[in-house]
Amino acid sequence: MLPPKEMHEAWKIHHERVYNIAHDYPWLIPALTILHTIPVAIAISGFYKTHRKYLELKIEREKTKREALEKVDKVENVVKSVHSHHPMHHGC
């Protein structure tokens, strides 16, 4: 990475070149604007799609946890009812 002073100079040269190109070829400005807008739009769209999928996955995980807990509760209830009706337990 360049030191701050050299980086500042590099940016200054870059901005001068861009200004000169825009000054000499003004018709490039809309084209360059569109070319820079497309990747930004794609990135924003991708971010929101990824975030939405993340939330859907989080919801599905919660559903799975709840279903698993319900099954555990049902099994525990069945085991308790079997043990309470088992003749060996009445004699204890």
- Domain membership of residue 48 (yes or no) is no
- Domain membership of residue 33 (yes or no) is yes
- Domain membership of residue 52 (yes or no) is no
- Domain membership of residue 23 (yes or no) is yes
- Domain membership of residue 83 (yes or no) is no
- pTM for the full model? 0.48
Question: By residue range, what is the domain housing residue 15?
Answer: 11-41
Helix (H) or strand (E) holding 49: helix 28-85
- Domain membership of residue 31 (yes or no) is yes
- Domain membership of residue 54 (yes or no) is no
Q: Which residue has the tokens 């002073």?
A: 5
For 40-92, the pLDDT digits (tens) are 999 999 999 999 999 999 999 999 999 988 888 777 777 777 666 655 555 55
Q: How many domains does the chain have?
A: 1
Are the C-beta atoms of 22 and 29 separated by less than 8 Å? Answer: yes
- Domain membership of residue 17 (yes or no) is yes
